[in-house]
Amino acid sequence: MSISEKSAAGVKTNVSTKNGMIQSGSFRVIAGPCTVESYDQFVASASAVKQAGYEYVRGGAFKPRTSPYSFQGLGEEGLKILSEVAGDLGLKAVTEVMDAEDIELVMEHAQIIQIGARNMANFSLLKRIGAAIAGTDHGVVLKRGFASTVEEWLLAAEYITKEGGENVVLCERGIRTFETSTRFTLDLSAVIVAKRLTDLPVIVDPSHAAGRRDLVIPLSKASVAAEADGLIVESHHEPQEALCDAEQALPVEALMGLRETLRPFASAMGREVL
């Protein structure tokens, strides 16, 4: 079947992952700071995620920063803070792995492994992760490379599934265009196209796409309407002080209001916000 023939088959809405992260009829929200900065920062930011009623908290320990002079994350110390705080709050942890040699360590501290946009085409990393999560409850969030086509993104996911990795979730996080008013351009058509071509769930990261907090909630609403299966959003208890991606972090009040804001959109799509 050609891509257009497959597309005509329609969007798949009842997708789920075996580990419960994505459930049919639901819209999963993952929230939390870009980076684990300190114990106190992560407790404060993750507590807000818990209070807002979400079950998955994000926080980077290994950060793929554009500049080598920017804060690179706390590494193993950050992972320890992440798992301790998430465990205390009863949340599941989502964090990025950049190096194959850190996969086991990251899996000890987090249930969901994020593969960043800059590593989407790191095929040896994808294969190693696929083999590592095979037969486990761990999941992967595979960001779309910001210069990758939908087909390249789906094939990248197949590097993971081919090794036996299940619980793979695709994440659209914006692509590079000529537009300068946003950090990247959120490609919602890619969400719809991907959902016609694969059974894998597709979530949206409006934070990195926009690069500015005032667009995160409108883009979140649009993501629900575009049949996405969830969101990963950045939030911080003191956004202005964030060491990474400060301009795009939602403050606590906005995070608290997000569920109510999304509810009518989700219910129109036959989904419940988790």
Region from 7-15, 36-44, 115-123, 210-218 binding ligand PEP, contact rule CB under 6 A: 115-123
Per-position DSSP letters for 37-103, written without gaps between them: --HHHHHHHHHHHHHTT-SEEE-BSS---SSTTS----THHHHHHHHHHHHHHT-EEEEE--SGGGH
* Size, binding site for ligand PEP by CB under 6 A: 10
Nearer to ligand PEP, 92 or 208 (CB): 208
Q: Is 86 in the site for Mn ion (CB under 5 A)?
A: no
Smaller CB separation from ligand PEP, 48 or 94: 94
- Residue 166 in contact with Mn ion, rule: CB under 5 A: no
Q: Which stretch binds Mn ion (CB under 5 A): 3-11, 71-79, 223-231, 244-252?
A: 244-252
How far CA 249 is from CA of 21, 34, 101, 141, in Å, comes to 23, 8, 30, 19
Residues 45-104 that bind ligand PEP (CB under 6 A): 60, 64
Q: Which string of b and e fits 200-228 if b means at least 16 CB within 10 Å?
A: bbbbbbbbbbbbebebbbebbbbbbebbb
Does position 117 interact with ligand PEP (CB under 6 A)? The reply is yes
Contacted by 143, from ligand PEP, Mn ion, none: CB < 5 to 8 Å by type? ligand PEP
Residues making contact with ligand PEP (CB under 6 A): 34, 60, 64, 116-118, 143, 173, 205, 208
